[in-house]
Structure 1
Amino acid sequence: MTRPELNKTLDADTFRSFYYLKEELISFCKQEGIQRTGSKSDLTERIAHYLTTGQKLTKKYTSRKNTIELLTPETKIEENLVCSERHRSFFKEQIGSSFSFNVHFQNWLKQNSGKTYQDAIQAYIHILEEKKKTPTKIDRQFEYNTYIRDFFEQNNDKSLKDAITCWKYKKSLAGHNKYEKEDLEIL
Structure 2
Amino acid sequence: MATERKKAGARQRVVLTPRTSLDDFRNFYWYLDELVDFCRHHGLPTSGPKLKIVARIEKFLKDGKVPVDVPVRKHPKGAKRRGPITMRSRVTEDYKCDDETRAFFKSVIGEHFHFTAHLQQFRRDKQGKGIPITYGELVREWKSEREKRKDKNYKSPLQRTWEYNRFVRDFMADKARNAGKSISEAAHAWNRVRVHEGPRTYAEYVRAGMDTARRTPDAAGSGEAEPGEGDASAGSRRCLVP
| Residues 5-24 of structure 1 aligned to structure 2 (within 5 Å) | 5-24=15-34
| Residues 22-171 of structure 1 aligned to structure 2 (within 5 Å) | 22-65=32-75, 83-85=92-94, 96=107, 102-103=119-120, 106=123, 120=137, 123=140, 126-127=143-144, 130=147, 133=150, 137=156, 139-140=158-159, 141-154=161-174, 155-171=178-194
* Percent identity between the two aligned chains: 21
User: CA-to-partner distance for each residue in 1:9-36, whole Å, 9 max, x for gaps?
Assistant: 2111111110011111001101111111
How far did residue 91 of structure 1 move? 10
- Matched AA of 2:212: E
- Asked if the contact 1:147/1:179 (under 8 Å) is kept, the reply is yes
The answer to which of 18-27 and 173-182 deviates more is 173-182
How far did residue 148 of structure 1 move? 0.9
Summarize the Cα distance change of 1:124–1:46 in structure 2 as closer, same or farther, 3 Å threshold.
closer
- Asked if the contact 1:36/1:43 (under 8 Å) is kept, the reply is yes
Unaligned runs of 5+ in 2: 1-10, 215-242
The answer to which of 121-130 and 177-186 deviates more is 121-130
Q: Using CA pairs under 8 Å that are at least 6 residues apart, name the structure with larger relative contact order, 1 or 2.
A: 2
- Matched AA of 1:151: F
CA distance in 2, matches of 1:147, 1:94: 27
* RMSD over equivalenced CA pairs, Å: 4.3
Q: What is the total number of aligned residue pairs between the two structures?
A: 180
Find the residue that maps to 2:190 and give its secondary structure. helix
User: CA-to-partner distance for each residue in 1:115-163, whole Å, 9 max, x for gaps?
Assistant: 9x69648726734753773676152121101101111111123333432
- Asked if the contact 2:105/2:139 (under 8 Å) is kept, the reply is no
Unaligned runs of 5+ in 1: none
Structure number, greater radius of gyration = 1
